[in-house]
Amino acid sequence: MTIQNAELLEKIRQQFESAPYPNMPLELSPQGDANLLYANNFITPFYLRNQQVAKSPDLAILDVGCGTGYKTLILAAANPGAEILGIDLSAKSIQLAQERLRFHGFAAAQFQVLSLLDLDQLDRQFDYINCDEVLYLLPDLEQALKMLRSKLKPQGILRGNLHSLYQRYHYFRAQELFTALGLMQGNPQQPEIEIVLETMRELSDDVPLKQQTWSAKQAVEDPQDYVLMNYLFHGDQGYTIPDLFAALRDAELEFICMTNQRSWELARLFQNPQNLPSFWQENLPKLSLEEQLQLFELIAPIHRLLDFWVGQAHQTPAWKTPASWADPDWETARVTLHPQLQTPAIKTAITDAIRQQQQFDLSRYFTAAAPHQVRIMLSPYVLAGLLPLWDAPQQFPALLKRILKIYACDPITLKPTNPQRASQELRNTLINLEKYLYVLLTQKPK
């Protein structure tokens, strides 16, 4: 490591030592937040890559850059029974993380003061590595990814993210401004924070930098974190999709998908995604996922983070395609409810909807895998058929048998329900639910 890089890492350590992050109340719990748990549940990326439901009672998780432990707490809640190790270069942050996990009943979680670049000191590998809000601070992205890969089991999965160069460009300009003013020579303290706050408040409202970066609300709610994590952020760098994929190839890591993949769908940027201009209709299917993501960020750089899941190279099954469930063997198909939906509260709400013969908005509870405009409305008829999923995974024939038993005849004509039609309707429902990961289908296609 060069002297310059070592000095930068020391500044980053000092910044988080004096202002541990995230600054979340100790008693705050992620339980009940399905979206947070979904993105931190090992089952989610494992299924997206393998089309199988992971069964790992002895799951080993490494939380790199755990900070004050709130993300570690989310990992623990999302993966019951997992063995978790959190590391961070800030001793103060580690102390707070230990207190947080003990407070919430996860005393078995372990913590260690350790930098990502010193991972070779750990003599073990992990099923899941969470490296959230860390990589964009490091001077050598490829080196960091290679270090992480060395601690990943053969079928392990890594979650990482980078700051988007395009979305965050104006903050980088602001950082250059305050560097030029001498506010980032050392570890920014309260005087430097106050200078930034006063400067941004007093700039005219029509000044581009203020229009593009300033949030008066955030500056009032949490001025220290807001300034330090945006205007005076040591090491902060921006990346593009091509930068990300080049680094992954160099590190011999295999891209799985974005953690919020549905919100990166290129077609949704058009007024009518079902009727694209002829040029796009012809060429969009020919584009690789990397090319589609690159075009998305050029058109609509709305995501602060390039947030991704990757694994060791050559782990994606050869048979898996984006349309892998276009023609499955439904007779042996197994249907599993996503763990974040399998709660007593949701089951009770569904039972009430069935009894009251009301439609049920499943997306009220879980939207992470679907764009905000999408609503997953289920009829009482469908809900009654799927209710056993809240107790255990079900085979498709068992669900169909239940539906045919509940609705033995058409309520209007009183004619016997057509089994073929009922089967097709159930298939269509499950395919749509699987599209947004409300259910997991674990049968390879024919």
Q: What is the pTM of this model?
A: 0.92
Q: Which CATH superfamily is domain 3-166+238-260+303-312 in?
A: Vaccinia Virus protein VP39 (3.40.50.150)
pLDDT value of position 35: 85
Residue closest to 200 by CA, chosen among 191, 211, 190 = 211
- Predicted confidence (pLDDT) per residue in 389-439, tens digit: 999 999 999 999 999 998 888 777 778 888 898 999 999 999 999 988 999
- Predicted confidence (pLDDT) per residue in 83-131, tens digit: 999 999 999 999 999 999 999 999 999 999 999 999 999 999 999 999 9
329 and 276 Cβ atoms separated by less than 8 Å: no
Count CB atoms within 10 A of the CB of residue 398: 13
Sign of the dihedral through C-alpha 436, 437, 440, 442: positive
Average pLDDT, the chain: 92
184 and 343 Cβ atoms separated by less than 8 Å: no
Give pLDDT tens digits along the chain (446 positions): 676 788 888 989 999 999 999 999 999 999 888 888 998 999 999 999 998 998 877 899 999 999 999 999 999 999 999 999 999 999 999 999 999 999 999 999 999 999 999 999 999 999 999 999 999 999 999 999 999 999 999 999 999 999 999 999 999 999 999 999 999 999 999 999 999 999 999 999 999 999 999 999 999 999 999 999 999 999 999 999 999 999 999 999 999 999 988 889 999 999 999 999 999 999 999 999 999 999 999 999 999 999 999 999 988 886 555 445 556 789 999 999 999 998 888 999 999 999 999 999 988 888 766 666 678 899 998 999 999 999 999 999 999 999 999 888 877 777 888 889 899 999 999 999 998 899 999 986 55
DSSP 378-401: E-HHHHHHHGGGGTS-EEHHHHHH
24 and 140 Cβ atoms separated by less than 8 Å: no
Q: Where in the chain is the domain with CATH 3.40.50.150?
A: 3-166+238-260+303-312
308 and 239 Cβ atoms separated by less than 8 Å: no
Q: Locate the DSSP E strands across 108-236.
A: 110-113, 126-131, 152-163
